[in-house]
Structure 1
Amino acid sequence: MHTFVRTAAVALLAAVAIVWPGAGPALAEEGDVAWTVRTASNSYGADRSSFSYAVNPGGQLKDAMVVANRGKAPIDLAVYAGDGFTTGAGQLDLLTRDKKSVGIGAWLRADHETVAIQPGQAVEVPFTVSVPGNATPGDYAGGIVTSLTQPDSAQSINVERRLGIRVKLRVGGDLKPGLTIEDLHVDFAGSSNPFGGGDASVTYTIHNTGNAILSAQQTVSVSGPFGWLRTEAGEIAAPPELLPGERWKVTVPVHGVARAGRLTATATLTPRLVDASGSTTSLEAVRATTHGWAVPWLLLLLIVVVIAGIAGAVLLARRGRARRKLREDVRVREAVEKALRDKKPEAVSAPGE
């Protein structure tokens, strides 16, 4: 992972590597420069892939990192700590030295700010973690970093290579893990086949609103009115472990969605909490729904045609009945008039005749 920092006077290129759980010692190498970092073997354990602690507010602990020079020349490394954050690629990165840390980066101090190592040699770098008495309970992530800065004459820049080990700290107190689903919406894109369905795109943001580092299992579905024609999304990759306060945007495609008119999209998260021992616990699921439209244009056209046909038939039937009634009225009137014309008046006799 590479970070570029430029100023008016000099350009600084920082290359960062973090030892993740399950990985071996981290190695940084560039030409004749090479070194590794690993956790020290002590009462906290041997062959640890990272540092992980549980400390109460006001507590303190001591540990160490081992740095080995695998190159052919002596190296002088700076040693410091930094707070962690999740990158857009879903990986844990550390704040650079010029950025202010308020958690692990502020609480962890190495016994020496620099360390000189001869070729083929390894040194142990002790450090102390001091948690303030007013520290907020919950999870913190960061790292302890070794750093080497060298000039690169070809590019006229200084190159800083940073190699560190992840540090996870749980401060004692009330642990309140929590995830929410924000900005959920669904979009539909129909296929060129008017009789077929289409694909829906469900997007939302996962927000870690608690004080614990969390990942989650995700499921997404799209259905029509009354839950009909339900379509499940395929397997969804788990989001990265989010630090408290962090957000992660998710876009999930759902294929083969029917043109059912009003759509209902449902996203479900099952938060996953990792405790100090490394075991994972699934928490109560979080669910959110939203609505969209998948207009069945062909069906609507058919409905319009049918309604128009019915309306036309009713109109023609009414007109037919009106014509028949008119003809019947004319026939009756003509018959009455004819009868009146054909009827002779009766003779009236005068008195005394």
Structure 2
Amino acid sequence: MENHKMSVDTQSVAHPKTKGFPAEVSLNRLRQFGMPIALVAMVVYFSLASDVFLTGQNFRNVALQAAALAAVAVGQCFVILNADLDLSVGSAVALISVISAMAMVAAGAPVGIAAGLLTGAAIGLVNGLVVTRLRVMAFIATLAMLSIAQGLALRISKGVPITGIPGSFADLAFANVFGVPLPFLIAAALVVLGFLTLHYTRLGRNIYAVGGNTEAARLSGISISKTKIAAYVVSGLCAAIASLILTARVGTGQPTLGASMSLESVAAVVLGGVSLFGGRGSIAGVAIGVAFVSILSNGLNLLNVSSYTQMMIVGAALIAAVAADQALTHKK
């Protein structure tokens, strides 16, 4: 009798898993192939809708536009894989632009570049310390840093652009290497470096472990605090690289630069298949997400769609991606 009861109980527990398996497979396939298919479909649509879309000059514009976003998205990926979030990257880009421009005017381009990178690392370090030492939620901590960095950028610059940047630095934004824009090559190198770091270094393994199961990572001897701080420092450095790219492109230090970077970077990362719950996703997917957001923005601009409508479309796409991620996580 007892054996029969145990058999029935085992079957009743196993049944829902068997029943849910096809749905889980479908969601996994959606995660793997949904964005590449959507990207191809979007390219086909814009190719038919605009005669300019497939021109070489437009591809160059897309590459330049994607460069800064790719840099920020790589850093954002490190943080989100940790099951955290960095909402400060947009304002960090603005503050770094102002500080690096002022340093360049005073002491030359190399000093300005170093000042920008140090500022980015410092912002990331503060974010990491607030999250780990003060135990403030990442959402609140980085939202507060967003406000602080934006206020500092406006106060230091008095709300006006910083002019007088060396021409040699500004020219980098329009330089080419074998016909490929230099900013795009810098971003591509950063994507490759991010991929290698996440997949072939201890830091990368620790990030996946902490994001996947924090308690298990702690029990295995991984320092949760150091891993999270390192991820935020990487995010700050990536924001600095993006800021330097944009500053060179506009030719001035702009206190309002990168205003939409926070939303766009999160959208690119999540659309690229990185889970907001941490521990799942890759830089390769993020690159596809960046391409999707950049091509979407470019195509909509060619069709004269307003920037406000574009923000709504990106927001809707982000909601859809997060909803799919939640569904897959709950299925598991």
- State the TM-score bracket (shorter-chain normalisation): under 0.3
Greater helix share, structure number: 2
Higher relative contact order (CA 8 A, sep 6+): 2
Greater strand share, structure number: 1
Q: TM-score, normalised by structure 2?
A: 0.19
Q: TM-score, normalised by structure 1?
A: 0.18
